[in-house]
């Protein structure tokens, strides 16, 4: 090694050449000449430099080769204020661990190991400097003496190491550690400034299907493309992290508007659901998202992450491809879900599962053309559990194939015995479809029952395209060979790519209820889309079923727009096999259209005990129904029209409303601001009572409790004004639908 040590070693060796026993000549502190020589060689080797300033902070010395490195000729640096040699640091730099140089200099503090960036170099050059203030015998400041060394290279490699430690090498996104640190920092600093921060946890739906069919490499390629799409949508304020596998997290500082977050969730899901090209093959994936907002749903990282995970879990349980906000009821839903899981495992063996049938009628003649088999679970304690609840559970706990196989056999067996040879459609879960032996299962069901293949239709959703499209096409071909019909179910509800229609030769497209619903409302473009879908299906020689037709105006619209078949409550609800057989046996093959004349804005019938706040009094009322724009409440007598009230919908959701209808104990109220979708079937307010407000009322800061309003109002309630309305007791409804 050339340089400082080699030079000094050589010097000693030369002088003692020829002698084995060289005498030791230590450099004494008083030996100024040899000490200067020593420092000279240190400077010359570039291992470090010295600098000194005068009492005014001007440079009076800088090692020659430091000046050279900076491109200064001899002595040019002399006289410059030390602080000006470096780029001033930003005071708000989050990575800063020390006070800035100018501060240290003016306070005459010692400087040790401070990294500073040189101001006058073209390239980025960093020094680490150290220095001590000097004082004369009278204690007067005389300037600094210090050292410096170039740390550009080691700093670069430190930064690289940091990057490796903080970022996911595959996607370039922050990794779990970095995201957790950032979230923790944000939450801590936001707590003081009373700001909000949202966390979205996103999980790709059935990511495993991609790695199973396209291998690890295919999966990695997909993740890269997913990351790129996420980065396009999430603005620079947000930070995205890849936690591993198909799981991502997005931190959105300063957002607590659930309307905006719902829109973001929807946009993310839509963007990720567009097809991907992976090594020349096409693949599709969906995404589910859970949303939690600090401080409402959690104060610290752990609480917020758990809340977002619970919401994600609910979004998955709700059928995937959706977002869901955290709410405190989700904690109960985890327990409920465990119960469903346990009970469902034995449901078939216990004879609790049966198939019901809903007719599909000709749009012109109302004559039954076919029917759809729908699974029912009659739970001994909870009554009818809807398939929307138990099918996703069956998929998650891995019993959907068994249940689906049972359904296929049961339907084929029953249909074979019907007095009329009607076609019957069976719903197929994408998880059944993904299995190579699925065609064999269908073949067995046909053989066992002796049902003609042409009478069986398989309803699949767009989700079967998740994963490798080529593989799905192979399965379609096998099924077609068996002679069964194929229907694309719920078209328009999810990813809705028209390209699916080219991918497989479907016999039928079932237009999702969501398109029929509201298509008759003014300003709604569903009707136009309906026309387009029907036109396309016609061109491709497919039949179109309009699903979920309830009102006469909807029937008129779908018929006018060319749908060939109609399925909906307007003709019949799904019914047990015996009832269906009775009708067929009685020759009752034409149905009557029976339903309301007009579809009314989705007013969900509910029975929920809520609070109604009028002036500073709070009343207990029952909410009977709820829509985006208003609600029907019961429990107060004779409330005058035009009365301004606030509905406390629970969980800190306060909705300002005006009484528009009033009859006895029933009041119809209109919200000042419409509610928004909670991602599932439900509605929620955009904003909630802030935990900071509760804190301001003298309570400790905590995530929102179930009934935060009472914490704020507590003692003050009814302090001033007398109660103006008479509360009446409202009875409980009959036991509901169970879960």
548 binds, among Mg ion, ligand C2E, none (CB under 5 to 8 A by kind): ligand C2E
In 3D space, the residue among 374, 377, 440 whose CA is nearest the CA of residue 407 turns out to be 374
- Strands, sheet with 59-62, edge to edge from the N-terminal-most edge strand: 59-62, 49-53, 141-150, 126-135, 111-117
Q: How far is the CB of 93 from ligand C2E (least distance, A)?
A: 54
**Rounded distance between C-alpha atoms, residue 275 and residue 210, angstroms:** 13
Detail the DSSP E strand segments found in 593-681.
604-614, 617-626, 630-634, 644-648, 654-663, 666-671, 676-677
Is the separation of the CB atoms in 624 and 605 below 8 Å? yes
The residues, any chain, with a CB within 8 Å of residue 587's CB and separated by 6 or more, are none
Considering the complex, state which of residue 367 and residue 660 has its C-beta at the smaller distance from ligand C2E.
367
Unique residue bearing structure tokens 């293949």: 453
Q: Which is nearer to ligand C2E, 459 or 648 (CB)?
A: 459
CA 355 – CA 347 distance, rounded (Å): 13
Q: Is the peptide bond before 468 cis (omega within 30 degrees of 0)?
A: no
Q: How far is the CB of 395 from ligand C2E (least distance, A)?
A: 8
CB of 545 to Mg ion, least distance (A): 9
Q: How far is the CB of 459 from Mg ion (least distance, A)?
A: 4
CA angle, corner 222, sides to 220 and 225, nearest 5?
115
728 close to 636: Cβ distance less than 8 angstroms? yes
Judged by beta carbon distances under 5 to 8 A according to partner kind, the member of ligand C2E, Mg ion, none in contact with residue 655 is none
Least CB distance to ligand C2E at residue 487 (A): 9
Between 459 and 678, CB nearer to ligand C2E: 459
Nearest approach, Cβ of residue 531 and Mg ion (Å): 20
Beta strand segments in 141-278, E: 141-150, 197-205, 239-244, 247-253, 276-278
205 binds, among ligand C2E, Mg ion, none (CB under 5 to 8 A by kind): none
Closer of 43 and 550 to ligand C2E (Cβ) = 550
Beta strands in 103-196 (DSSP E): 111-117, 126-135, 141-150
Residue 595 contact among ligand C2E, Mg ion, none, beta carbon within 5 to 8 Å by kind = none
- With H, G, I as helix, E, B as strand and everything else as coil, classify residue 478: helix
The CB-of-427 to ligand C2E minimum distance in angstroms stands at: 4
Minimum CB separation from ligand C2E for residue 499, in Å? 21
Complex with ligand C2E: residue 388 or 728, whichever CB lies closer: 388
249 or 432: whose CB is closer to ligand C2E? Answer: 432
- 63's contact among ligand C2E, Mg ion, none, with CB below 5 to 8 A by partner kind, is none
Question: What are the residues binding Mg ion (CB under 5 A)?
Answer: 427, 459, 489-490, 547
Between 283 and 394, name the residue whose CB sits nearer to ligand C2E. 394
Which parts of 187-259 are beta strand (E)? 197-205, 239-244, 247-253
DSSP letter for 236, please: T
Question: Pairing mode, if any, of strands 485-491 and 467-468?
Answer: unpaired
| Distance of closest approach, residue 373 Cβ to ligand C2E, in angstroms | 6
Q: Parallel, antiparallel, or unpaired: how do β-strands 654-663 and 644-648 relate?
A: antiparallel
- By C-beta, is 256 or 490 nearer to ligand C2E? 490
**Closest separation between CB of residue 713 and Mg ion, Å?**
46
Taking the least distance from each CB to ligand C2E, the nearer of 158 and 681 is 681
Q: Which residue number, 223 or 545, has a Cβ lying nearer to Mg ion?
A: 545
387's contact among Mg ion, ligand C2E, none, with CB below 5 to 8 A by partner kind, is ligand C2E
CA distance 279 to 218: 8
Count of beta carbons in the 10 Å neighbourhood of residue 600: 10
Tokens linked to 28: 């004494």
> What's the closest the beta carbon of residue 429 comes to Mg ion, in angstroms?
11
Query: Which of the choices Mg ion, ligand C2E, none does residue 550 contact, using the CB cut-off of 5 to 8 A by kind?
Result: ligand C2E
The distance of closest approach from Cβ of residue 433 to ligand C2E in the complex, given in angstroms and rounded to an integer, is 10
Query: Based on CB atoms, which residue is closest to ligand C2E, 368 or 704?
Result: 368
d(CA 298, CA 433): 40
Residue 79 exposure: Cα atoms within 13 Å on the Cβ side: 4
386 binds, among ligand C2E, Mg ion, none (CB under 5 to 8 A by kind): ligand C2E
The site partner of 514 among Mg ion, ligand C2E, none (C-beta below 5 to 8 Å per kind) is: none
Helix, strand, coil percentages (3-state) for the chain, rounded to 5, are: 35, 25, 35
Contact 507, 485 (CB under 8 A): yes
Sequence-distant (6+) residues with CB within 8 A of 232 are 271
Q: How far is Cα 210 from Cα 214, in angstroms, rounded to an integer? A: 6
Residues forming contacts to ligand C2E in the complex (CB under 6 A) are 358, 374-375, 386-388, 391, 404, 407, 427-429, 459, 489-490, 513, 547-550, 567-569, 574
Q: CA 231, CA 238: separation in Å to the nearest integer?
A: 9
Using the minimum distance from each CB to Mg ion, give the nearer residue, 445 or 509. Answer: 509
Nearer to Mg ion, 283 or 360 (CB): 360
Q: What distance lies between CA 495 and its chain's CA centroid?
A: 16
DSSP H/E element including 511: strand 508-511
Closer to ligand C2E by CB, 481 or 681: give it: 681
Question: Token pair for residue 505?
Answer: 């030769």
Residues 6+ apart with CB under 8 A from 14: none
CB of 551 to ligand C2E, least distance (A): 9
648 binds, among Mg ion, ligand C2E, none (CB under 5 to 8 A by kind): none
Q: Quote the least distance from Cβ 491 to ligand C2E, whole Å.
A: 10
* Contact of residue 322 among ligand C2E, Mg ion, none (CB under 5-8 Å per partner type): none
């Amino acid at each position: 090694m050339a340089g400082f040590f080699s030079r000094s070693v050589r010097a000693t060796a030369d002088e003692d050449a020829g002698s084995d026993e060289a005498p030791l000549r230590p450099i004494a502190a008083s030996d100024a000449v040899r000490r200067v020589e020593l420092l000279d060689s240190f400077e010359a080797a570039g291992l470090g430099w010295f600098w000194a300033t005068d009492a005014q902070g001007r440079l009076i010395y800088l090692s020659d080769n430091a000046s050279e490195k900076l491109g200064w000729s001899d002595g040019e640096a002399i006289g410059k204020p030390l602080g000006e040699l470096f780029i001033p640091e930003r005071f708000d730099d989050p990575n800063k661990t020390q006070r800035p140089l100018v501060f240290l200099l003016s306070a005459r503090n010692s400087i040790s190991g401070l990294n500073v960036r040189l101001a006058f170099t073209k390239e980025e050059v960093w020094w680490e400097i150290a220095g001590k203030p000097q004082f004369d015998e009278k204690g007067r400041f005389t300037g600094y003496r210090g050292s410096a060394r170039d740390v550009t290279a080691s700093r670069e490699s430190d930064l690289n190491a940091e990057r490796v430690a903080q970022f996911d090498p595959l996607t370039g996104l922050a990794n779990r550690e970095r995201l957790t640190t950032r979230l923790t920092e944000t939450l801590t600093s936001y707590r003081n400034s009373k700001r909000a921060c949202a966390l979205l946890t996103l999980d790709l739906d059935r990511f495993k299907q991609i790695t199973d069919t396209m291998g690890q490499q295919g999966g990695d390629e997909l993740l890269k493309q997913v990351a790129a799409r996420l980065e396009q949508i999430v603005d620079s304020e947000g930070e995205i992290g890849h936690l591993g596998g198909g799981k991502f997290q997005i931190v959105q500082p300063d957002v607590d508007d659930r309307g905006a977050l719902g829109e973001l969730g929807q946009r993310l899901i839509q963007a990720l659901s567009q097809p991907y090209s992976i090594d020349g093959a096409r693949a599709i994936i969906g995404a589910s998202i859970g949303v939690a907002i600090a401080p409402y749903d959690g104060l610290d990282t752990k609480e917020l992450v758990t809340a977002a995970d619970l919401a994600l879990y609910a979004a998955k349980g709700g059928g995937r491809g959706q977002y869901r906000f955290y709410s405190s009821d989700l904690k109960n839903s985890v327990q409920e879900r465990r119960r469903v899981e346990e009970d469902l495992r034995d449901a078939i063996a216990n004879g609790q599962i049966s198939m019901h049938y809903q007719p599909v009628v000709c749009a012109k003649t109302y004559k039954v053309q076919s029917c759809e088999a729908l699974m029912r679970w009659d739970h001994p304690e909870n009554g009818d559990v809807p398939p929307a609840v138990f099918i996703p559970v069956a998929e998650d706990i891995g019993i959907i194939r068994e249940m689906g196989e049972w359904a296929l056999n049961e339907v084929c067996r029953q249909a074979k015995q019907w007095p009329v040879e009607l076609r019957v459609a069976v719903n197929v879960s994408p998880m059944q479809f993904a299995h190579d032996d699925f065609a064999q299962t269908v073949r067995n069901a046909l053989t066992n029952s002796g049902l003609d293949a042409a009478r069986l239709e398989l309803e699949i959703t767009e989700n079967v395209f998740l994963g490798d499209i080529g593989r799905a096409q192979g399965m379609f071909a096998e099924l077609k060979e068996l002679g069964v019909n194929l229907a694309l179910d719920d078209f328009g509800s999810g990813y809705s790519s028209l390209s699916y229609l080219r991918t497989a030769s479907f016999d039928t497209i079932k237009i999702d209820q969501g398109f029929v619903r509201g298509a008759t409302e003014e300003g709604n473009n569903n009707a136009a889309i309906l026309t387009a879908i029907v036109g396309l299906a016609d061109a491709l020689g497919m039949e179109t079923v309009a699903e979920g037709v309830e009102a006469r105006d909807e029937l008129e619209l779908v018929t006018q727009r060319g749908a060939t078949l109609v399925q909906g409550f307007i003709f019949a609800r799904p019914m047990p096999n015996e009832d269906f057989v009775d009708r067929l046996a009685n020759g009752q093959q034409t149905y009557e259209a029976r339903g309301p004349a007009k579809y009314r804005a989705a007013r969900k019938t509910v029975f929920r005990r809520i609070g109604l706040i009028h002036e500073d009094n709070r009343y207990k009322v029952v909410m009977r129904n709820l829509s985006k724009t208003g609600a029907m409440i019961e429990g107060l007598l004779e409330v005058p029209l035009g009365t301004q009230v606030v509905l406390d919908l629970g969980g800190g959701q306060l909705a300002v409303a005006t009484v528009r209808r009033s009859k006895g104990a029933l009041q119809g109220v209109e919200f000042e601001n419409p509610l928004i979708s909670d991602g599932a079937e439900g509605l929620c307010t955009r904003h909630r009572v802030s935990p900071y407000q509760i804190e301001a009322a003298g309570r400790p800061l905590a995530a929102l409790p179930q009934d935060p309003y009472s914490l704020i109002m507590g003692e003050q309630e009814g302090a001033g004004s007398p109660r103006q309305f008479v509360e009446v007791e409202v009875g409980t409804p009959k036991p509901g639908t169970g879960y």
